[in-house]
Structure 1
Amino acid sequence: MSAPRFANLSPGADRVGRACAWIEREDGYVLMVGLAWGGWTLPGGGVHPGESGAQAAMREAWEETGAHTEVAGEPVPLTGASGADAECWPLRLLALDPSPEGRPVAWVNPRALPWADDVQLRQVLAARGELPSGLDVPPLVTAALKEAARLHIQDSCSLDTGRLLRTLAASKPGGRLLELGSGVGAGAAWLLAGMDPSARLLTVEADPLRAETAWAVLAPDPRARVLHGDWTGALAQGPFDLLFADCRAAKGEGEALGQLVAALAPGGLLVMDDFSPPAHLPEALRGGDPLRAALFSHPALNCSELEVSRRERVVLGVKRA
């Protein structure tokens, strides 16, 4: 079945930014609009030349949902699933007509799951101090992300992968964990958030500045040890119950994969992130992904692929006993 086609009243490619609308009723429910692929999003789109962000948010709200609105406050900066930045403007609803673009609309409770975990809604709730406690970011992760911003590093562990790491770490009480590619400590901080008091984490980073920064971020937690050096040198300290391979050099389908598997204890978890879903697969991999193939065909691994966000998948492998 093909996806529904909606009219597009603002097709111009000359946009100078992005804006979306937070339209909240008296009962706290927020207005969302249907997407062609079946999901839901806050109404929004491009800011046209000569428009303010607020004007764009009101125009998009009317075009997509039929909402007549006025500005009700200051905007919240958002980062979308694709990495694009936008302003989210709070708007007051004056009247609601059928969507001029023919889109479905829905009123949802943004403070209840699963809506509170939507990539847009959770950022607005966090800015307002209204994020449900189960979705809080651990303090060490926040510290690592602040360091990443200071150093203009944009490849830190994503929120969605981080929460998966926390869950997986909790499944290894008393375990020995290894991270290859510390960055400035975000992934390690997520692992520590799930580990029990007797578990231990070794994280390795080849870049000296990143390694030093990760050491400073993780120093408050005695369960973590940060090494500066090549990733292969840490494998000899195994076997490990969980191995998060987060550096490019360790994500090879040949000898590198064999080294990772050899460093795992029986029943140990191998975690690799940054895989693209088919809809966003790089052109070079349209004929197939050698790393995926090597993971799923490795005789010592049982693998599954999880979609942690619309643009990111993670492969999990368990070493057979």
Structure 2
Amino acid sequence: MNDAINQPLPKAYGAIVEETQRLGFTMPSDIQTCALLRTLAASKPAGRFLELGTGSGLSTAWILDGMDNASTLVSFDHDDALLAIAGKYLGHDQRLSLVRSDGADWVHENEGQAFDFIFADTWHGKYLLLDEVLAMLHPGGLYIVDDMLPQPNWPEGHPEKAFAFIEQLESRDDLWIVKQHWATGMIIGVKRC
């Protein structure tokens, strides 16, 4: 067994990768993470999905690829240039709502919404407003984060934030988690019933 992705890539993935590289964005989700997101998305038929941090839409494409036609995905980001790439290649998908918003604003404006699958790929829902975002997760819902192993683009002091975040997740009594020393470092949680 190896980490090779031997299944079809989402249709728009290659074009999104090219535009992301031209833009110089250095924080995209890696392909192993994306493949896992697609697989996990397929486990939530007719699900409500939330992605915190669209970026250029790389992970968004994979989540959409795993979703069925009865599912919906809300994905937000504050960066117009990155959202433009996502919109160009994925905006036609009726299941997707792309939103330009600051993370804190979006979370506060949408309290009370509930989701079956949350991918927290930005500070909000991970290092900030964790309680508020986890309150949006249905019982049995998936909470997923990546980039938990040291990354070359981490700023000074970030390893301490990551370790504190992991300890916080481990101490929660409303979430079962598994830590994976794989890809960029994944944590998958399931909201306890």
TM-score, structure 1 normalization: 0.53
Larger radius of gyration: 1
CA distance in 1, matches of 2:122, 2:45: 25
Residues 122-151 of structure 1: CA distance to partner in whole angstroms, max 9, x if unpaired? 7xxxxxxxxx4x2x3211222221220221
CA distance in 2, matches of 1:185, 1:211: 7
Match of 1:199 among 58, 71, 74: 71
Q: Is the 8 A contact 2:52 2:124 kept in 1?
A: no
CA distance in 2, matches of 1:201, 1:272: 17
Q: Is the 8 A contact 2:50 2:75 kept in 1?
A: yes
Corresponding residue of 1:293: 167
SS in 2 for 1:167: helix
1:270 counterpart = 2:143: yes
SS in 2 for 1:155: coil
Q: Evaluate the alpha carbon distance shift between residue 283 and residue 139 of structure 1 in structure 2; reply closer, same or farther with a 3 A threshold.
A: same
The aligned runs of 1:106-145 (5 Å cut-off) are 114-115=1-2, 117=4, 132=6, 134=7, 136-145=8-17
Task: Give % identity.
Answer: 33
- Structure 2's unaligned 5+ residue stretches are none
Corresponding residue of 2:41: 169
Residues 293-318 of structure 1: CA distance to partner in whole angstroms, max 9, x if unpaired? 01111121111112333xx2100111
Q: Is the 8 A contact 1:166 1:193 kept in 2?
A: yes
Corresponding residue of 2:134: 261
Q: How many residues align?
A: 186
Q: Is the 8 A contact 1:240 1:264 kept in 2?
A: yes
Corresponding residue of 1:247: 122
Q: Which structure has the highest helix share of the two?
A: 2
TM-score, structure 2 normalization: 0.86
Q: Evaluate the alpha carbon distance shift between residue 286 and residue 179 of structure 1 in structure 2; reply closer, same or farther with a 3 A threshold.
A: closer
- Structure 1's unaligned 5+ residue stretches are 1-113, 123-131
SS in 2 for 1:248: coil
Q: Evaluate the alpha carbon distance shift between residue 313 and residue 212 of structure 1 in structure 2; reply closer, same or farther with a 3 A threshold.
A: same
CA RMSD of aligned residues (A): 2.4
Structure 1 residue 237: deviation in Å? 6.4
Q: Evaluate the alpha carbon distance shift between residue 217 and residue 287 of structure 1 in structure 2; reply closer, same or farther with a 3 A threshold.
A: closer
Q: Evaluate the alpha carbon distance shift between residue 152 and residue 268 of structure 1 in structure 2; reply closer, same or farther with a 3 A threshold.
A: same
Corresponding residue of 1:149: 21
SS in 2 for 1:147: helix
The aligned runs of 1:278-289 (5 Å cut-off) are 285=159, 289=163
Corresponding residue of 1:315: 187
CA distance in 1, matches of 2:170, 2:16: 32
The aligned runs of 1:7-156 (5 Å cut-off) are 114-115=1-2, 117=4, 132=6, 134=7, 136-156=8-28
Moved over 6 A (4+): none
Q: Is the 8 A contact 2:149 2:181 kept in 1?
A: no
Which letter does structure 1 place at the counterpart of 2:170? F
Structure 1 residue 205: deviation in Å? 0.5
